[in-house]
Amino acid sequence: MRPTYLRTRFLLVLLPLLSLLACDPSVTEVEATSIEVAPLYLSFDGTSEATLSVTANGSWTLTSDASWLKVSQSSGRGGSSTVRVTVDRSGLPAQQHAGRLKLSGSGRSVTVHVSMRFPHVTGTVVDPTDEIKPGSLPRADALQGASPSVSEAMPPDVVPGEYLVLLDDGMALALEASASGPVPLGARPHLTTLRAMGAGVARDHGLRLASDVLSSGLPVVKVHATEAEVERLRADGRVALVEPNRRWLLPQVEAVNAAHDFGLQWHYDHIDLGSAWALTQGDPDVVVAVIDGGFATRHPDLSANLLPGYHFERDDPDPEALDACVEHGTHVAGTVAATLNAAFGVSGAAPGVKVLPLSVGYETLDGATLVCALDSYAVISAVEYAAGESVAGLPPIAPVDVINMSLGGYGTNTTFEMAVRRAIDAGVSVVAAAGNDGFTNVVSIPAAFDGVVAVAATDSQGKRASYSNAGKAVDIAAPGGDKANGVLSLGWDLAQDEGTWLRMAGTSMATPHVSAVVALMRSMNPELDPASVTAILHASARDLGAPGRDDLYGWGMLDAGKAVEYARNSLGVTYRDVVVRLSQGGTLVAEAHAGVTGRFDLGPVPAGTYLLEAGTDLDGNGQISDPGERYASTTVAVAYAGDLAQDLQLSLR
């Protein structure tokens, strides 16, 4: 009995002591040998607050190497904790900054990389007098106002399990920084850094990269992922955006073999091409990039006007594709710049310019039908390359004058829109087909993107083609033909392996008429920017339908003669003449010229209340608010809650 009695008394004494020790904060917990933190990368893109989830098997400490980087607790104990991370920008220069957080235990530490920037002030300058015209009508979302039946009938198609991941370039700059502190203004991360970051994102999330980084200006990678993995990607500070890799089918239009004679190209009479040719048939220094499924580059009526191109779907320097993709691209390129010669008779609308053939298609089955499919990653790659970026290891070229895209789909595609915007900002006019589904309030992308010239189609009688989409984004109409009388251009006979001539109908056929005329305009006046080109197309169009602009024809039928004449005589103010300023208490904080479509970005600025002004300085005296100048101003409040967008409407003072 005695041993049992002693054990009982011992336990009665020991248990209260253990309880006291457990409650005593002076007792040190064993340092953690395992620490897990999520996310490992934090991006504060104009914002100020985020959280970290910490799981450890013991005590840990948390330190920051940047005075502006604050945490809600500097240490923790075993188990799970949530740490609030905030940014204090007081006294910092308004630019990109890099910092690091370090969690430490026993022989174990974890680093969290932090990228922080000040909010940007952005917007668009608009001139309601139309003396300076914007690059396009106000943006119309591809499905805005569409009936449910339209949305259900045309769901956005995607490549199963493939996603486009836009890397955060601010985080890349932070990773390049050797220590915490400000990053040089205007810096662009090195491609090697972006590649390493993309590989790290894939490795950390257990994903397989399906592409290299697209370009340093648009750092997109393609990955294979599940929906659950995509959600984790979106929480990663190295990732700015994740969206599906879209898939589109080239428009399936009936091709009819036809006699080849210039006199049979009735569609050129509809746009008064002869008057344009009296001024120019095109300058060989002017380049139209045709982004399409594929091309018969050996066609005798086309080869002399082709520059060395690329096949972005196959990653091949030879853009030729003698498969289901060949007819569409060859026909479109032929309408732009088939050579004018007596031997074959058919001509492009701008036979003196050059075509850069950029193939993006691949042959696949749609049910039992062999079709040409396009993935958005390949199309985006082609747009970037045509805009002067180094893509797929290719050396960069000078930006082309015009991009023709007789292709498209429905839904949203942010990375595609970013690529198109970058091309327009580089001075490239982008022309795209409105779509062939006969919708009255839906325009396909990229035609619906801001700044793109959206082309509707007319039939052989000069009326709206029954298949042509209509909507608020439509800029202009051009001949697309109909089943009875299609547009005559080039084709390729796969069975005979020889060039042929085809009639095809669609907005795909209307679009290269506009691209060719834009090339003629640029031949007459190389200084034209995309906004000026669009303004001239609007002003010179022959009105169709309801008086003035309407959703069926835009501003009317393309008039090549007037457009080229207006281009020759075009002198005046462009959006690049507009100065945008941000000031506070009479002190200038930021200044920039508007871009070719009126867009501006004044860069990072501290939180506060500012005067935002835009105006011309035609007399060169440094004042943008003089009488006789175009001017606009407003007060804006910048907060650390992200970027601020504010448009300005100019008026004559």
Hey, which residues are catalytic here? 292, 328, 508
Q: How far from the centroid of its chain's Cα atoms is residue 585's Cα?
A: 37
**Encoded tokens for 51:** 């959280």
**Encoded tokens for 113:** 């990389």
**Encoded tokens for 174:** 């932070």
For residues 386 and 358, the answer to whether their CB atoms sit within 8 Å is yes
Q: Which of 404, 447, 401 is nearest to 428 (CA)?
A: 401
**Encoded tokens for 434:** 């409105």
**Encoded tokens for 64:** 């920051």
| Sequence-ordered list of residues with C-beta below 8 angstroms from that of 445, at least 6 positions apart, any chain | 142, 408, 409, 410, 411, 412, 413, 416, 417
Phi, psi of 213 (to 5 degrees): -65, 130
Q: Distance between terminal CA atoms of the chain? A: 108
Sign of CA pseudo-dihedral 223, 229, 235, 237:
negative
Q: How many whole angstroms separate alpha carbon 241 and alpha carbon 611?
A: 32
Q: How many whole angstroms separate alpha carbon 298 and alpha carbon 321?
A: 11
Q: Which of 39, 179, 38 is nearest to 97 (CA)?
A: 179
Q: Which of 170, 167, 173 is nearest to 47 (CA)?
A: 170
Q: How many whole angstroms separate alpha carbon 466 and alpha carbon 458?
A: 8
Q: How many whole angstroms separate alpha carbon 346 and alpha carbon 489?
A: 7
Contacts of 149-153 with CB under 8 Å at 24 or more apart are 150/439, 150/441, 150/442, 153/437
What are 71's strand-pairing partners?
85
453-485 CB burial, b ≥16 within 10 A, e <16 = bbbbbbbbeeebbebbbbbbbbbbbbbbbbeeb
